[in-house]
Structure 1
Amino acid sequence: MHDAFDYAKQKWDNSHKVQDFKVGDLVLVSTLNSNNIKVPNKLKDSYVGPFIYFFLTFDKQFFPLRNPAPLTVPPVEQSEEKRIKKFIKERILRGKNQREYLVRYRNPVHEDEWLAESEIPALDKLLRRFRPERRPQA
């Protein structure tokens, strides 16, 4: 009986090593047995973190963690803002006395979209270019 117990203990000790963490170490935590992450297992990360190990305990299975300082996202530059290149079409909304213009942007990434007159900056300047283009050529 003692031989079987010693054999089982030796097998368990070989596969389970005690981790020695120092205060300030960054650690990853396994999500294998956590049920609070509401995504399919296929999409769930195997480990989450890194967390900061900040407190020593006598129990090797329990260790308190703290999130590191959150990362700040730098502000987006305004140079990437949509700038209107030209008007393509105009329409009047039914039941309302309001015009909308189909607008093409300078940046090729953006698609054409309908904008109301109130949403277009520098409307007069763009209209001066648009209206002569619509006149029939004689």
Structure 2
Amino acid sequence: MEEPWLRGYKDNKFFLIDGLLYHRENHTSPLTVVDRDHISLILQECHDCPYMGHMSEDRPKERVASTSWWPKWEQELSEYISTCDGCQKANRKHGKKYGLLQHIKEPKHSRETINMDWVTGLLPGGKENYNACLIIVDRFSKSMRCMPCHKEDTAMDTALLFWNNIISTCGVPKIIVSDRDQNSHLNFGPTYMKCLEPSFHFPQLTIHKQMA
């Protein structure tokens, strides 16, 4: 198989001007071919120098692409930026650490594990002017129930809605998987457990919050 350099030379993509080797793709401007000894200097100038300010990949890529070329330069530039010590220190994450992600086992029976999610921002409708919807999906059968509600509903309102529409017909699920939005009904978990306490005892009931 023919070497890429030789093929490029035959296609007139490489040429010499005043002793310097240039590369050109189609009708673009000629770019200086950088030898291996000077690649690190080009990378430093296009990313580390004060006027470039350790920017993300786009700006350094534009700068290299407008002046220089060498085989697999985009890959080398990406690796250089991703391993930059200054960027790693400046962009370190603050705040609380993420919790340990745990895999939720797929259920073996219907109504054993359900997903719960809210759709908000809907136009008011119906006699009660509902503006949201509580969606329940059975992870085993993939069946879905949609229950109109209000965005302003409290945790107790949501727990009663769940009790009257799901538990009364399907029983109590072992696992409830909910999202992590910050609406007030996200306190549904503790409120729901309190509703169960007087009549039921389910030590395996678990309420997971998915990572958004």
Give the shorter-chain TM-score range: under 0.3
TM-score (norm 2): 0.17
TM-score (norm 1): 0.24
